[in-house]
Structure 1
Amino acid sequence: MLRSMYAGISGMKNFQTKLDVIGNNIANVNTSGFKKGRVTFQDMMSQTTAGAQAATDTRGGVNPSQVGLGSQLGTIDNIHTQGFRQTTNSPLDFALEGDGMFVVQNGDQTAYTRAGNFYLDESGDIVNPQGYYLIGYGVTTTQTGTDDEPVFEDEVNYDETGSLNIPDTAQSFSVQSNGTVSYIDEFGQPRVAGQIAIASFSNAAGLEKSGSNLFLNSENAGYNGIVAPETEGTASIVSGSLEMSNVDLSEEFTEMITAQRGFQANTRIITTSDEILQELVNLKR
């Protein structure tokens, strides 16, 4: 069989994968915290028909002659650029302005996300739509005053992490840009519920997508631990906003056209190779 036919088949398979990734990007154009994918190709091995020859005293050198055997899938990258910010005015909608990810936990499973749409459950814990607890630093409380008029002094304890809880007796609450969750208690005093923790990665593209806007740590993500927002180069938190998808529709449709034409061109290679084989078969009458 002709090598061009199998080269065309490899090209068709790769462009199918590229269209799959583009379709997923477009489907998640309005998904909070979604990070788009990108496909790259590589050439396959080449068949050498004549090797290179060095120059001699009487003639110059000769380059090798090689026939390529098609293309193969190189990488499917996750592009972790900043998505645009949408104002929602909901106090439990958080957008990260900069690097880092929220840490959420469900039992022993820890995941990471850029989607900041959180809620309060019936116990007052801050959770994501799947019920994962938002992880932050705890608080050490010192009480003075009397039982009728107590005075509380709250200090963030950076040695303790866990879920963040806002008591149901709180009159109001707010979240600062450094992740500190504050509320007004039943006595009218300002209190601190904790501070949101941010996970830092040296290679966020190495995280594994697990669905539901969640990422899992991997061997190549370069996990650097958790830190407070606005420290060690991590993001600040914007309350009342959400980070939306970083998908650019104009870019995706352009890539779709390129993939479609590339797929069509490879089908032409296959049909042309088939016509040549047909001519060879017709030599025997």
Structure 2
Amino acid sequence: MLRSMYSGIGGMKNFQTKLDVIGNNISNVNTFGFKKGRTTFKDLVSQQLTGASNPTENRGGTNPRQIGLGGTIASVDTIHTQGSLQTTGRALDLGISGDGFFIVNNGNLSYYTRAGNFYLDREGTLVTAEGLKVQGFQPNANGTGIDRNNFGQLKVQAGEVFAPQATNQMSLRGNLRAETPEGEEFDGTLENYLPPNTVLNKFTATDSMGNLHDLQLAYYKSGDNEWTVTLLTPQFNDDGELENYEVEELGTVQFNSGGRVDMENSQLQRIVIDPQNGAEPVNIGINFSQLTQFGNSSNSADISAINGNVEGFLESFNISQTGEINGVYTNGEVRILGQIAMATFNNTGGLMKSGDNLFQVSNNSGVPNIGFAGDGRGMIAGATLEMSNVDLSEEFTEMIVAQRGFQANTRIITTSDEILQELVNLKR
């Protein structure tokens, strides 16, 4: 009877723990990134009355006789199943679809979270609601890629200046018609603008200070399968009126019998411009391999690509599925500001809850495997948040089971007490 009473007490404690876990789950049903808990039980040691016996020639074997001494908590698990994603429309709300955790730092301590409701502080640092700094990879020097060796806090600074980039590459395309008669070189005067059978190609180059220079390329046929290219630089008087053009011959483009560029025999040189405003000379490499000389086609050439830009200011940003933070500048340029890092673990169930939707590494979680979203990890869903994975119907059902289990264990105690009372009454 004393054994049964203590079994009942142990059972009551177990179901009270189960109710505590259920209560915590229900209270966090609307907590972003929350992972529910689960309680499991196991039996305690059993008291041995008799052991098992071996069978003999005259008798069979007998089973052991044991009396269980109650149950206890086997585990309180954290269930890391996927929560549903709720659209918020806010750029800094990020949900994870799949495995992985965001990494946040508090000084030298690293924490891990699925709650992606992030914010920017006054310095533009990406932080959690508690001010912990979100960790990620920094961009390379020119903002066109990520430096995997540079890991730390991420910043999005409003009004950040994008320095001017001088033009250094341009690509030409188009068709210079094969039937075009040989032309003559432009002499730079307005009266001779432009000689017959000349193809004009206007473009704008940017110097190292961000100043724009309007220039023109002129093509005229100078021989069989040969076109000469000249650079026309407009010249203005003191009143800002166009007077003439400075003409510089850049070289020739040779075509083969199939109308394609003969790169070996072509002698088109780079364009070098002196801005005459204190900026560095503009040195532009020319890719003219896409020019053609076909018959019965258009007679025109244009710029298929040219780099360089004026200064710009950070106007907006967006976050991709892989965590890249892309800044959009007023000059139309897009540059990578950083990439949010994600961590996975061999045993996510081994992580310790630290409060504030945070987890910490434990002895049984394994070390974090840090990298990019989508690279063996879940994808980032922008403008969404991951909801709690608590299912209220399941929790209420488990609550009923725990309540009935608790009541049943109280009946064990009351029944044992009644039997003890009968024993006491035997003395009368």
Normalised-by-shorter TM-score class = over 0.9
Q: In 2, Cα distance between the equivalents of 1:107 and 1:196?
A: 18
Choose 1 or 2 for highest CA Rg.
2
**Structure 2 gap segments, 5+ residues each:** 160-313
Describe the superposition over 1:209-232 as per-residue Cα deviations: whole angstroms up to 9, x where unpaired.
00000000111112242111100x
Counterpart amino acid of 2:157? Answer: P
Query: Which sections of structure 1, spanning at least 5 residues, go unmatched?
Result: 143-152
The question of 1:207 aligning with 2:197 is answered: no
Aligned pairs for 1:141-160 within 5 A: 141-142=141-142, 153-160=143-150
The correspondence of residues 143-222 of structure 1 with structure 2, limited to 5 A, is 153-169=143-159, 170-222=314-366
Deviations, residues 74-98 of structure 1 (Å, cap 9, x unaligned):
1000000000110001010000010
Structural mapping, 1:3-152, within 5 Å: 3-142=3-142
Higher helix share: 1
Q: Give 1:175's aligned amino acid.
A: I
- Give the C-alpha shift of residue 184 in structure 1: 1.3
TM-score (norm 2): 0.63
| Cα deviation, residue 188, structure 1 | 3.3
Residue by residue, what CA displacement relative to the aligned partner does 1:21-61 show, whole Å, maximum 9, x if unpaired?
A: 00000000000000000000000010011111100000100
- CA apart distance, 1:155: 1.8
Q: Secondary structure at the match of 2:401?
A: helix
Give how far 1:186 is off: 4.3
Q: Quote the Cα distance in structure 1 between the aligned partners of 2:380 and 2:5.
A: 54
State the one-letter code of the partner of 2:349: A
Work out the CA distance in 2 between the residues paired with 1:262 and 1:155.
59
What RMSD, in angstroms, separates the aligned Cα atoms of the two structures?
A: 0.9
Say which SS state the counterpart of residue 141 (structure 1) adopts. Answer: coil
> For residues 199-247 of structure 1, what are the alpha-carbon distances to aligned partners after superposition, in whole Å with 9 as ceiling and x for unaligned?
111111100000000000111112242111100x201100000001000
TM-superposed deviation, 1:176: 0.3
Who is 1:266 aligned against? Answer: 409
Q: 1:186 & 1:105 partners in 2: Cα distance?
A: 32
Amino acid at match of 2:75: T
Distance 1:138 1:164, change over 3 A: same
Q: TM-score, normalising length from structure 1?
A: 0.94
Give distance in 2, aligned partners of 1:184 and 1:160. 22
Alpha-carbon separation, structure 1, partners of 2:75 and 2:81:
18
Query: What's the counterpart of residue 147 of structure 1?
Result: none
Matches of 2:144 and 2:363, distance apart in 1:
38
| 2:166 corresponds to | none
Q: Deviations over 1:100-125 (max 9, x none)?
A: 10000111111000000001111111
1:148 equivalent in structure 2: none
| Residue type of the alignment partner of 1:76 | V
Aligned match of 2:382 in 220, 239, 249? Answer: 239
Cα distance in 2 between the residues matched to 1:263 and 1:138? 55
The one-letter code of the counterpart of 1:159 is N
The alpha-carbon deviation at position 185 of structure 1 amounts to: 2.6
Aligned equivalents of 1:23, 1:254: Cα separation in 2: 12
Count of matched residue positions in the alignment of Structure 1 and Structure 2: 274
Whole-angstrom distance in 1 between the partners of 2:144 and 2:120: 21
Which secondary structure does the structure 1 equivalent of 2:398 belong to? helix
- Which residue identity does 1:236 align to in structure 2? M
CA distance in 2, matches of 1:63, 1:18: 34
> How many Å apart are 1:190 and its aligned residue?
0.8
Equivalent position SS for 1:226:
strand
Identity %: 56
User: For residue 15 of structure 1, what is the amino acid of its counterpart?
Assistant: F
1:151-174: CA deviation from partner (whole Å, max 9, x where unpaired) = xx4321011111111121121100
